[in-house]
Structure 1
């Protein structure tokens, strides 16, 4: 569990302002030995009671605005679908992404080029009807393994705040990310590593009821199909600051 000193503060200068909404955390427990080959040698898997976790997270990113610049119409909103696990280095826990499929071509280019993240081009929709959300995606990135995704879920009652040391806190309250390059295979083999710093208020989590789930995202990475349904948390919208990306 990170100490208070590992939680970024809003007083830091930020590189990017965003709003995340229509978000679903879907996670499965995974044998750490299965995930170890997907991380660079310098990173350690971050485990909860000895167990690794693998997540798929669809959401909408809007109000995207670089530091000191206004939002650009047509470029300030995208849908994203990421595959993630959790890693730590020098006692700092963070997110490690296997892929981040997204709809905005310029945003994908910028994230791959400037932030060294494995973003991939995709067609994706995320719609809401009478309180029920539906996400659909198809990867279109040239040279990447194909992947498709469809899910429908209904957010429910607000859950109690996630307590430090609990599984919901471990899976959702992440204020750092690690990345090693836009190509995952090369990133795992290489020595480059960056740590990004985020700030946001704690998530307001909700129960979620899943009525549809079809995905080949994990399989596109050579991972086995999960044996059971995911552990789900829906989340209310919040504003996020990307505060720092530093080579380490």
Structure 2
């Protein structure tokens, strides 16, 4: 089981931001199909016998280094969309593995240094009445997506909701090494969401050729405003984050 609140403190963040206007769309997949897309140091985490892949578009707001207040004018705010799955390290610690990351702010491509699979593109997030729309297309290649959801009433997260949405570290791989990036933020405030439109080629571009095992599960969140991303560290003899 994973924790709904952050599992560790990030006392010395490398980056601070808000993650807002976020939608989570998840599909169950055969575990072996997803395992083929992650490095050998990681095992796909399963819930009720399935691996889960999430499409998570959002707005990354007020991106800044530590010590800079969120109220400072001119801080970068831009759209990002992640395609992710859920994994465990051989030491048992759970986390995220990104199959792809679409971003509308080219400076984020610096994170490729630790293997984060950023792809620059044209992304848009907009609200029309009670509908929230997301779209994006890569500058290189033809991967794209379009998603329209209608947020519903706030919910109390179920065990599955917590398992899908609350993860507190991300793994990447670069230069023959596995890296870990810890994250801390307040628990996600969640609502149900109805999917009106869902068109995407990101899963195929990531190498996931099999059909999902079921219909997508969707949630919406207004977001979290106090995100603290810790420095990424190589997992040479196991992954160790900053102490609590």
Give TM class, smaller chain: 0.7 to 0.9
The answer to whether the 8 Å contact 1:6/1:92 transfers is no
Q: What's the counterpart of residue 104 of structure 1? A: 105
- Tell me which protein shows more helix as a share of its residues: 1
- Mapped partners of 2:102, 2:154: distance in 1: 28
Alpha-carbon distance between aligned partners in 2 of 1:47 and 1:222, rounded to the nearest angstrom: 19
- Asked if residue 238 in structure 1 is aligned to residue 224 in structure 2, the reply is yes
Rounded Cα–Cα distance in structure 1 between residues aligned with 2:21 and 2:104: 15
Rounded Cα–Cα distance in structure 2 between residues aligned with 1:205 and 1:217: 24
**5+ residue gaps in structure 2?**
236-244
2:173 pairs with 1:180: yes
Does residue 88 (structure 1) correspond to residue 88 (structure 2)? The answer is yes
Any idea what the Cα deviations from partners look like across 1:5-27, whole Å, max 9, x if unmatched?
Answer: 980125x1111111011111101
Match of 1:184 in 2: none
Provide the C-alpha distance between the structure 2 equivalents of 1:85 and 1:133, rounded to a whole number of angstroms. 23
Tell me if structure 2 keeps the 8 A contact 1:75–1:106. Answer: no
Is the 2:144–2:201 contact (alpha carbons within 8 Å) kept by the matching residues of 1?
A: yes
User: What secondary structure sits across from 2:191 in the alignment?
Assistant: strand
State the structure with bigger RCO (CA 8 A, min sep 6), 1 or 2.
2
Residues in 2 aligned to 1:3 and 1:69: alpha-carbon distance in whole angstroms: 29
CA distance 1:191–1:244, shift in 2 (3 Å):
same
Paired residues, number? 231
Q: CA deviation at 1:200?
A: 0.8
4+ residue runs over 3 A deviation: 2-6, 68-75, 225-229
SS of equivalent residue, structure 1 residue 180? strand
Deviation at 1:125, TM superposition (A): 0.4
1:226 positional shift: 3.6
Contact 2:64 2:75 (8 Å CA) reproduced: no
Aligned counterparts, 1:185-196, within 5 A = 191-196=176-181
Q: TM-score, normalised by structure 1?
A: 0.86
Please show how residues 80-159 of structure 1 align to structure 2 within 5 Å: 80-89=80-89, 90-107=91-108, 109-113=109-113, 115-141=114-140, 145-159=141-155
Post-superposition CA distance 1:77-120 (Å, at most 9, x none):
1111111101111111000001000001112x22223x431100
